[in-house]
Amino acid sequence: MTHAAGAPWWANAIFYQVYPRSFADSNGDGVGDLDGVSAHLDHLSQLGIDAIWLNPVMVSPMADHGYDVADPRDVDPLFGGLVALDRLIAEAHARDIRITMDLVPNHTSSAHAWFQAALATAPGSAARQRYIFRDGLGPDGEIPPNNWVSVFGGPAWTRITEPDGTPGQWYLHLFDAEQPDINWDNPEAFEDLEKTLRFWLDRGVDGFRIDVAHGMAKPPGLPDMANPDIEMLTLDDDDPRFNHDGVHAIHRGIRSVLDDYPHAVTIGEIWVFENEDFAKYLRPDELHMGFNFRLVRAEFDATDIREAIENALAAASLADASPTWTLSNHDVEREVTRYGDGATGLARARAMAMVMLALPGAMFLYNGEELGLPNVDLPDEVLQDPVWERSGHTERGRDGCRVPMPWTGDAPPFGFSSNPDTWLPMPAAWASLTVERQLADPDSTLAFFRTILQLRRRRFHFTDYDVEWLQLRDDAVAFLSGGVLCVLNTGSTALPLPPGEFLTASAPLVGGELAPDSAAWIATD
């Protein structure tokens, strides 16, 4: 990738997020695994990516599909164990693809040996001090210690039964009850994380996506939330559950370990929208990069999109860090559906991919994005996301964006698995979206992604993280970046294109002009 001399490999890199359960299943159990990823590395090489981000593959009861880690220094047999990861690292490296992993420091699984020890010992024990246990309020301690809610719905506290059989203390879990939050005031938390970091880095991993990187530290006294009715999976900037200042010391600790492995990168999941606060995570002795979710939140609207880009650039620039861009991941509705579904949603998703890939910084594509997959409306009985149960069946959760990838053939499971009983059912209508089908069609979304990823590599020359805005029309977004002009038409009439060498567009031009819901790249040098 072209970038400023001396910039690290990740500065303008293309990361491809593999949701391991849903990428490819090598052993016919209906769930994707790491040998499945190794078997499809050609697909990723041909796309032209620099790195893979693997969602968690550590040992887990899978209450939150791997974000509930029972042993942070081993790979779950479901995904093929450590040997399968070693194979993937070797085979990816042989193709110049780096491997980054998810790291989950905010909580463990309730099956983790630490939590089991906490349950087996009395209040106040050393084992209890590794988590956040409190006595309940009310005469019999039957009221949770504060009003915090779980991000997945319901209270953020669960009451345990003490070893002597009496109703006992409560423990904090910002997510599922099977994901108890670690007490980061206890030095053992960092000592153990350091072991985990070194374990994976010594095995050849090239970095980490850090889960809930704005969590971990909790405010003293655990004050009540002002707004416990907050909509699920959305976060306020003044929410006491997150973004407590103490978190920065933890990131400095992580960075001091990473500095022993200069090839490796950390990218924090940071749901913080005040630019000054966001930038704090990217100070030179903290994370290398932070996920900025503004583009995910932006509507398909010229003003919204421009504001999202300006803010994300400003936030990264405050810390002199590389900006990051993403349109989707395993937690949000797929962009084709967000932008209106059907032909319109797909056209807009393709246009937005060109907007994103024209920007300076690191890109995060989510598996299936290159196929133009939409979200899937799944029937109640197959839903697996803990959000569905915890919300009392009012929120369907995130399964709809996690349906397995269609590779080949005319019927489910489309070469994803040899087993028709895939962990989430695949829609028959995806016959037209398989990798195989799209490879045979020069106008497919896959062909389009290959073209734009190649053009980004060849024609953009990023020397800094600035873009220059052009005002063409109120319903257009236009900016110069890396020597290329990107124009997006969010309006309902065709848009005349400025002069220059036309590189490509996300939809055919109409009478030489840019069609509604499409974007174009024009070289200016």
DSSP SS3 for 94: helix
Q: Which two tokens stand for residue 125?
A: 């024990």
Q: Which two tokens stand for residue 72?
A: 């942070």
Kindly list the distances between the CA atom of residue 411 and the CA atoms of 19, 87, 172, 393, 444, in Å, as whole numbers in the listed order.
22, 30, 44, 30, 19
Q: What is the nearest approach in angstroms of ligand GLC to the Cβ of residue 329?
A: 7
Residue 374: how many other CB atoms lie within 10 Å: 26
Catalytic member of 25, 269, 370, 385: 269
Binding string to ligand GLC for residues 253 to 282, with x set by CB under 6 A, is what?
A: ----------------x-------------
Q: Which two tokens stand for residue 480?
A: 């110069």
Q: Would you give the DSSP letter of residue 373?
A: P
DSSP SS3 for 158: strand
Q: Tell me which residue has its CB nearest to ligand GLC.
A: 67
- Binding of residue 369 to ligand GLC (CB under 6 A): no
Q: What is the nearest approach in angstroms of ligand GLC to the Cβ of residue 209?
A: 9
CB 61 within 8 A of CB 108: no
- Binding of residue 389 to ligand GLC (CB under 6 A): no
The interface with ligand GLC within residues 73-102 (CB under 6 A) comprises none
Q: What is the nearest approach in angstroms of ligand GLC to the Cβ of residue 271?
A: 8
Catalytic (active site) residue 269: yes
Nearer to ligand GLC, 213 or 312 (CB): 213
b/e per residue 227-254 (b: at least 16 CB within 10 A): eeeeebeebbeebbbbbbeebbebbebb
Q: What is the nearest approach in angstroms of ligand GLC to the Cβ of residue 519?
A: 28
Query: What gap in Å lies between CA 257 and CA 155, rounded to an integer?
Result: 35
Calculate the CA dihedral of residues 101, 104, 110, 116 and round it to 10 degrees: 90
Q: Among candidates 224, 241, 242, 244, which has minimal Cα distance to 145? A: 224
Q: Among candidates 489, 486, 495, which has minimal Cα distance to 520? A: 486
Q: What is the nearest approach in angstroms of ligand GLC to the Cβ of residue 421?
A: 24
Nearer to ligand GLC, 211 or 369 (CB): 211
- Binding of residue 242 to ligand GLC (CB under 6 A): no
- Binding of residue 149 to ligand GLC (CB under 6 A): no
The interface with ligand GLC within residues 104-133 (CB under 6 A) comprises 104
Which ranges in 155-224 belong to alpha helices (H)? 187-202
Query: What gap in Å lies between CA 491 and CA 435, rounded to an integer?
Result: 31
71 sits in which H/E element? strand 71-75
Q: What is the nearest approach in angstroms of ligand GLC to the Cβ of residue 179?
A: 6
- Binding of residue 175 to ligand GLC (CB under 6 A): yes
- Cβ-Cβ contacts under 8 Å for 440 (sequence gap 6 or more): none
- Binding of residue 366 to ligand GLC (CB under 6 A): no
For the chain, the C-alpha Rg in angstroms (whole number) is 23
Query: Peptide bond before 413: cis, by omega within 30 degrees of 0?
Result: yes
Determine the residue type at 458.
R
Calculate the CA dihedral of residues 281, 282, 284, 288 and round it to 10 degrees: 120
- Binding of residue 184 to ligand GLC (CB under 6 A): no
The interface with ligand GLC within residues 463-482 (CB under 6 A) comprises none
Nearer to ligand GLC, 331 or 341 (CB): 331
Q: What is the nearest approach in angstroms of ligand GLC to the Cβ of residue 216?
A: 12
Q: What is the nearest approach in angstroms of ligand GLC to the Cβ of residue 524?
A: 38
b/e per residue 87-125 (b: at least 16 CB within 10 A): ebbebbeeeebbbbbbbbbbbbbbbbebbeebbeeeeee
- Binding of residue 67 to ligand GLC (CB under 6 A): yes
- Binding of residue 331 to ligand GLC (CB under 6 A): yes
Matching residue, tokens 């309006």: 491
Q: Which long-range contacts (CB under 8 A, 24 or more apart) does 377-380 make?
A: 378/403, 378/424, 378/425
Q: Single out the residue of 205, 212, 480, 488 in contact with ligand GLC (rule: CB under 6 A).
A: 212
Q: What is the nearest approach in angstroms of ligand GLC to the Cβ of residue 130?
A: 18
Catalytic member of 206, 211, 369, 370: 211
Q: Among candidates 287, 279, 363, 375, which has minimal Cα distance to 326? A: 363
Nearer to ligand GLC, 51 or 507 (CB): 51
Binding string to ligand GLC for residues 18 to 57, with x set by CB under 6 A, is what?
A: ----------------------------------------
Site size for ligand GLC (CB under 6 A): 9
- Binding of residue 64 to ligand GLC (CB under 6 A): yes
Q: Which two tokens stand for residue 284?
A: 């030179």
- Binding of residue 211 to ligand GLC (CB under 6 A): yes
Q: What is the nearest approach in angstroms of ligand GLC to the Cβ of residue 269?
A: 6
Nearer to ligand GLC, 288 or 330 (CB): 330
450 φ, ψ to 5°?
-60, -45
- Binding of residue 436 to ligand GLC (CB under 6 A): no
Residues lying near ligand GLC in the complex (CB under 6 A) are found at 64, 67, 104, 175, 211-212, 269, 330-331
The residues carrying an active-site annotation are: 211, 269
